[in-house]
Structure 1
Amino acid sequence: MPHDVIMPALGMAQDTGLIVAWHKSEGDAVKTGDVLFEVETDKATMEVEAQADGFLNGVRAQAGEEVPVGNVIAQIGAEAAAPEASAASAAGPSPKLPQGASVIMPALGMAQDTGLIVSWHKNLGEAVAASDILFEVETDKATMEVESGADGFVAALLAEAGEEAPVGAPIAIISPEAPSNPVQLSQSSAASAPKAEAAPASANMPAPKPAEGAKPAPKAPAKPRADGRILASPKARRLALEQGLDLGCLVEAEHPQPYHVADLEVIKSLPATVPHTVFAQSRRLTAELAQDGFADFASWAVEAAGLSEANALLAGLAAASLGYETCTVAVELLGETRSFAARGSQLADITLAEADASPDILLRDLRMSRVTAVELGAEACPVLTLTRFGPGLLITLECAADHLTASEAVSLLSEFAGRVEQPLRHLL
């Protein structure tokens, strides 16, 4: 039976992932553990491995495409499929749309042909009332919140946030009963899906009402966050730092966030009068520990659990402090750097990362050096540095202001300092 390859979740709040590149082509033989493709979000980049032996068939998304988390993007079969069969597999049978009341893309102006879905306010399967706000739509003239128009459950969403849909086209279905198999489609796939069964006459949709106080808005605005943080993938941050480019220029130019590698070309195309290399203000915080609890913990871990890789233990404490569901931690010890992938809350889930993986956080262990304090400035990701402080430790966090908010920086340093001082907290 074919094994489905799905878009993984790299974070709790992740909705989609950007396919950066495929490492295998259609019809290639693959083995468990082979890297299939590279995915990027605003939090991390990751190489996704094959979970079965076989042949890569039915590739449904290409490099450069954003894919919703959980969507099937390819299959691994026992044998290479013929091009025709592979294409059919990739297309797959169009899901039958559930019965219910259709929600259509409203017209906000006489010359409007399409509307941009800014965001959905309700999720698949969620109960809604007729007056509940279902989604927000934007044209070049105005923005508007659209009500559900019927009591029931969200049985189908036929467009994704960020997509444009023609005026009058159905973009959601509200069913009278909780759906057993809710349907999520994009506009391209919704066009070829079987039509929904006619809704009962009592479920006719009323005309949507403009949101109170709605004002004309520019298309695809890029408003700065109140906390000043810039949303960008780690890879984009790293390359921007290497090339001396300021991501803040994109905010000034109202370029939509989050930023990816391709957006760096936009910075280069900005007028010469716009400064490209003024970096965001950096943050530097320190924590003093009266004692170093990590050394004894590392010895205990060897004897009790067979965990002999001290760098992996440090990476696990840093990953837990950062709070991401999955992340890459680079540990630098006397000039040698090793990267670890953390995919869970247990220290046993810490494994070596790919050599070219972009770290979410860098940990410098200078306990064996003569350095007692550091102030090196922000780098492409937040940096935690451990130095000796009498019988204890001094932990320094350095990062750019757009990496972490002030409260996030305080939380990260506090959590990590607490775990280094009392590492057994991590196991509780």
Structure 2
Amino acid sequence: MPLDVIMPALGMAQDTGLIVAWHKAQGDPVAKGDVLFEVETDKATMEVEAQGAGFLTDVSAEAGAEVPVGNVIARISDSAESSAPAPQASAAPAPSSDDLPEGKTVIMPTLGMAQDTGLLVSWHKAPGDAVATDDVLFEVETDKSTVEVAAGADGYLAAVLAEAGEEVPVGQTIAIISAEAPANPISRSAASGAAPVAPAATKAEAPPAPAAEPKTPAPAKPAPAPSADGRILISPKARRLAREQGLDLSRLVDAGHPQPFHVKDLEVLKSLPAQTPQAAAQAACRLTAEIETSGFAEFASWAAQTAKLTDTDALLAGLCAASLGHPAVVAVESFGETRCYAASARLGASKASEDAPQIRLRDLRFTPITSVQVGGEEIPTLTLARRGNGLTITLEYTNGHLGAAEAIALLSNFAGRIEDPLRHLL
């Protein structure tokens, strides 16, 4: 069955993309991952890869053409012969005015041709907030990177249609920016009712440009230098896989492998010669935070009465995932028992899991123990212990788990959420 090749959306304010050059010609064989063409927006030029194997057919836009986002510009077919004419991307119905305010729709952007969904990591603005075109509106994570996405318009955030921690299909509307301040801003999850997919631009395609020499691709940028604070630069997916497989990322750093690391670099790591016990040793690190009062007990009581969420371990796992900034498998140790949760920032979304944990939360609030220094943990470990009317929160990790900046951010975020759990709902 032919696979449509569409003009991707590379940014929130993008209606069209300029085809700079084709890397494959009509009828050429292509493999999955081959660069098909280059597309230019007002901010960047990007190489677009094939999503499947076959033959490039039905090319309907030449180099130099400016094509609306979502339009089909070619196909990948089973044979080199052209198939039926490629259909143009159809427009989905616009949001009903009875449900949503009028304004500019904000969609889940396409950051790669093989991307079907994006993980909404966090919102930087709250419903009703004023926003400017260049303000960071939210962060989205794909299998390759975490990207800050700008609002793309001036106005007010009138509707938020997806929550942090949710996987949202590419092209789905996740927010609306209105020209006037909303009287009753809307906030809901994507699961409560999928927002429509933003329509492709309706303006006429520009006629093909006169024959011109393709633009010379910009020279490759040098790899970024390692972080000065010791943080290892790596894609979120690769970091998760490394933790699940027990891989020591610092070995890639010591070997001089260029950062940032991606999933393919984990194979390089696995191929490195075995370490001696002395070389394998990692520095045990420890950070401590103290809070005068804890609002968690009141928060747990409220969650049980209002939302019927009676599993306090699941609530703690959710606070931990929210502090990390992305979903994670959290092991919660309390009363001599360990339970694992697939946790996210969304309240009530933490579910029991049998997967290997990526972080441990040790709850010692109801024991006589007031401080810990265990060291040598195989995964980052947060420990809660009593301190008068407040709590001591300790983070133990190795330099292979987290960089210094990541550890400080994790502990600060978690301590703030334990002190005032309402932060979890914002």
TM-score, normalised on structure 2? 0.52
Whole-Å separation in 1 of the counterparts to 2:265 and 2:216:
39
Write the deviation string for residues 276-296 of structure 1: whole angstroms up to 9, x where unpaired: 843554432111111232223
Whole-Å separation in 2 of the counterparts to 1:378 and 1:423:
30
Whole-Å separation in 2 of the counterparts to 1:209 and 1:121:
11
Structure 2 residue 350 is the aligned partner of structure 1 residue 350: yes
Match for residue 287 of structure 1 among 275, 289, 303: 289
Match for residue 313 of structure 2 among 311, 314, 317: 311
Partner of 1:416: 414
Partner of 1:178: 68
Offset of 1:384 from its aligned partner?
1.0
Paired positions, count: 281
Q: Is the 8 A contact 1:229 1:405 kept in 2?
A: yes
Segments of structure 2 that go 5 or more residues without pairing to the other structure are: 8-16, 25-30, 54-58, 87-205
Q: Is the 8 A contact 1:97 1:195 kept in 2?
A: no
Offset of 1:365 from its aligned partner?
0.5
Secondary structure of residue in 1 paired with 2:397: strand
Partner of 2:331: 330
Partner of 1:247: 249
Q: Is the 8 A contact 1:291 1:421 kept in 2?
A: yes
Whole-Å separation in 2 of the counterparts to 1:380 and 1:289:
26
Partner of 2:45: 134
Offset of 1:382 from its aligned partner?
2.4
Whole-Å separation in 1 of the counterparts to 2:378 and 2:74:
36
1:142-291 alignment, distance < 5 Å: 157-159=48-50, 175-182=65-72, 202-209=209-216, 211=218, 224=226, 227-229=230-232, 231=234, 232-240=238-246, 246-251=248-253, 252=255, 254=257, 257-259=261-263, 263=267, 267=269, 269-271=271-273, 277-291=279-293
Q: CA RMSD in A?
A: 4.8
Partner of 2:203: none
Secondary structure of residue in 2 paired with 1:300: helix
Offset of 1:426 from its aligned partner?
2.3
Write the deviation string for residues 24-61 of structure 1: whole angstroms up to 9, x where unpaired: xxxxxxxxxxxxxxxxxxxxxxxxxxxxxxxxxxxxxx
Secondary structure of residue in 2 paired with 1:394: strand
Secondary structure of residue in 2 paired with 1:95: strand
Secondary structure of residue in 2 paired with 1:348: coil
Write the deviation string for residues 80-105 of structure 1: whole angstroms up to 9, x where unpaired: xxxxxxxxxxxx33327789856134
Whole-Å separation in 1 of the counterparts to 2:366 and 2:34:
55
Offset of 1:250 from its aligned partner?
2.9
What letter matches 1:291 in structure 2?
A: T
Write the deviation string for residues 194-219 of structure 1: whole angstroms up to 9, x where unpaired: 6999x96625352443646x69x8xx
Partner of 2:145: none
Structure 2 residue 95 is the aligned partner of structure 1 residue 94: no
TM-score, normalised on structure 1? 0.52
Say if 1:176 and 1:377 are closer, same or farther in 2 by CA, change over 3 A: same
Whole-Å separation in 1 of the counterparts to 2:368 and 2:280:
33
Q: Is the 8 A contact 2:18 2:65 kept in 1?
A: yes
Offset of 1:364 from its aligned partner?
0.7
Whole-Å separation in 1 of the counterparts to 2:210 and 2:341:
54
Offset of 1:328 from its aligned partner?
2.0
Partner of 1:407: 405
Offset of 1:301 from its aligned partner?
2.7
Whole-Å separation in 1 of the counterparts to 2:217 and 2:83:
31
Say if 1:274 and 1:306 are closer, same or farther in 2 by CA, change over 3 A: closer
Offset of 1:191 from its aligned partner?
7.6
Segments of structure 1 that go 5 or more residues without pairing to the other structure are: 1-91, 107-113, 137-156, 164-168
